[in-house]
Amino acid sequence: MDRVDDDRVTRRRVGDAEARRANRGWWDADADDYQAEHGAFLGDVDFVWCPEGLREADARLLGDVAGRRVLEVGCGAAACARWLARQGARPVAFDLSAGMLRHAAHAAATTGVRVPLVQADALALPFADAAFDIACTAFGAIPFVDDSAALMAEVHRVLRPGGRWVFSVTHPMRWIFLDDPGEGGLVATHSYFDRSPYVEQDSHGVATYVEQHRTLGDRIRELVGAGFRLLDLVEPEWPAGHDGTWGQWSPLRGRLFPGTAVFVTEKPA
């Protein structure tokens, strides 16, 4: 999301019901543009963790996936789930947005790699306890919910003991800068400790887009609180020769400080 600064933008607490409505509407409306802009970078059958281009094929953060039941959380067009299926995993992909899932269904038809697609909210998973061996997401769902501790607890519930939960999010320290890939994005303008979400709203003050911030400590606290063990925190470096930009992610900023945090966790056996 490219943050904009005008009178439609504010910082205020937004509960989960208002955030769900806002984000479902926003992702439904933006799905075509998002795929047009980022679809080629993400691939049709590929698992890219972040704008830095780290791929699961190289990083292997999920461990061995063959034969494993894998849940892709906030899957968007579900390229990761299709890649997992190609590796012999048994993925299920879900998203809040019907617009994003339409792209997932279209890509299934064009690639011939079909995975079960479910429309659901990450705060209320329609899956049984211990139904999955692995859960993962690249930038899905987590930044868009108010009660992210409850999201972690839901994922914990649907994982079997010994299961792994790996997710990427915008690196929390990016919160202090403007969403500017250039020089303007090198100047700290906002407190790292201010958790009030970034909100875009309509002329009636109703939220149309909500993005949440948690510090690194907050994330670790909510993971540990849900019962997970932290195995690794990966901060992908900007690779030499990668000249692309993705919103506020750019070579200029990527060379100086991290843009993505990938949390690698497990539910103790």
Ligand X SMILES: C[S@@+](CC[C@H](N)C(=O)[O-])C[C@H]1O[C@@H](n2cnc3c(N)ncnc32)[C@H](O)[C@@H]1O
Give residues in contact with ligand X (CB under 6 A).
Answer: 20, 23, 27, 42, 74, 76, 95-97, 100, 121-123, 138-141, 144-145
Rg (CA), the chain: 18
Nearer to ligand X, 20 or 174 (CB): 20
Residue 202: how many CB atoms within 10 A of its CB?
10
CB of 248 to ligand X, least distance (A): 13
Q: Rounded CA gap, 137 and 53, in Å?
A: 15
Nearer to ligand X, 79 or 187 (CB): 79
CB of 67 to ligand X, least distance (A): 23
C-alpha dihedral, 18 to 193 to 171 to 264, nearest 10°: -90
Q: Rounded CA gap, 154 and 165, in Å?
A: 11
CB of 142 to ligand X, least distance (A): 8
Nearer to ligand X, 170 or 186 (CB): 170
Q: Under DSSP, is residue 259 helix (H, G, I), strand (E, B) or coil? A: coil
CB of 232 to ligand X, least distance (A): 20
Q: Which residue is nearest to ligand X (CB)?
A: 76
Cα(first)–Cα(last) distance of the chain, in Å? 37
Nearer to ligand X, 100 or 223 (CB): 100
